[in-house]
Structure 1
Amino acid sequence: MKTLLIAALTLALSSPAFALSCMRPDAVQIYEAARDSDDNFVVVRGRIDLSEPAKAPEPETEIPAITQAVMSGYALTQHGFGALFHRKIEIRATCLGPWCGSAGGFDGEQIAMLRVDGNNVYTLVAGPCGGRAMEWTKDGERRLLECHRTGNCVVAE
């Protein structure tokens, strides 16, 4: 009986309810989340350059760490990524309990959904599971553009 109880307890503590399980961000999923939001977003393919060291949020709090950066690339129009984009952005790293996102690690070209507030502040959320940016891939861009143009939205498997 004692062995059965220990096995049941071990199984319960290893379940997803007790651990953060993250799926890799997908271009179509983050596009749809931005599209369906009540907030205003601009979709950008480009590079993120930090203008200061990445600030880390405090785990177990809801207060984001804000890091200033510049994103350069192309914004999404009805025809594709064709509008030049070069702006200061804020990266808001957030936590979910002890797990936190980071403003660091945006190496290479990214596809990012930047929230635009009423004061023209462009914000990228970086949560513990990736937030609203992902590394650019040809396939991700192709599926995002298909979703944007036709409404045929296919998430990568």
Structure 2
Amino acid sequence: MTRFITFALAAFAPLPAAALSCLPHSVEATYQRADQAEESYVVVQGRLTFDASALPDNGTGTQSPPKLTRVPAQISGMALSKGGFDVPFEQPLTLEVACYGPWCGSVEEGDVLAFVERTPQDGYVLESNPCGGNLFTAPKPAMIDQVQSCFAGGPCTPER
């Protein structure tokens, strides 16, 4: 009888948390993914604003976060063209924050480098997920230079 109880307790014990495994999040990999996609993307360097209280709680609450949370947002900045980031871009968009189990995309208001999808039904959409998605917060000058190089046909190989 004791063996049965021990087995039953072991069978219902919580399992160790699984780790989320993502490929490295890089401007080059994101650029290549957007460039090869059937969807249309605009690369924007600018300021992202939204209501942060609408974001999922990243699994810190008592319930699992939803798989996808859509948040109205605004991005103001410059879109990438052959001349660099020189096309004014000020648009409302839908921020889509995906969660994989308890892990959710990280999004902060402020300066961003964003690969914004242009959709016929929803207008502009920006995706964030636990592995990075299409958003880079507080981009460094080297990231801006790299995405411009990718756009101009220069070297655009993600680091491994």
**Taking structure 2 as the reference length, what is the TM-score of the superposition?**
0.75
Confirm or deny: 8 A CA contact 1:51 1:70 kept in the other structure: no
Report the count of equivalent residues.
Answer: 139
Q: Which residue pairs with 1:129 in the alignment? A: 131
Q: Deviations over 1:33-75 (max 9, x none)?
A: 111111111110011011563331774754x111111100001
Alignment of 1:2-151 (within 5 A): 18-22=18-22, 25-51=25-51, 53-56=53-56, 59=64, 62=67, 64-102=68-106, 104-107=107-110, 109-119=111-121, 121-135=123-137, 136-151=139-154
On the 8 A contact 2:50/2:109 being kept in 1, the answer is no
Instruction: Give 1 or 2 for the bigger CA radius of gyration.
Output: 2
Q: Distance in 2 between matches of 1:140 and 1:59?
A: 34
RMSD (Å) for aligned C-alpha atoms: 2.4
Q: Distance in 2 between matches of 1:112 and 1:121?
A: 15
How does the TM-score come out when normalised to structure 1? 0.77
Instruction: State the alpha-carbon separation in 2 of the partners of residues 34 and 120 from structure 1.
Output: 18
Find the counterpart in structure 2 of residue 152 from structure 1.
155
> Does the aligned pair in 2 maintain the 1:48–1:110 contact within 8 Å?
yes
Matched-pair identity in %: 27
Unaligned runs of at least 5 residues, structure 1: 1-12
**Structure 2 unaligned blocks of 5 or more:** 1-14, 58-62
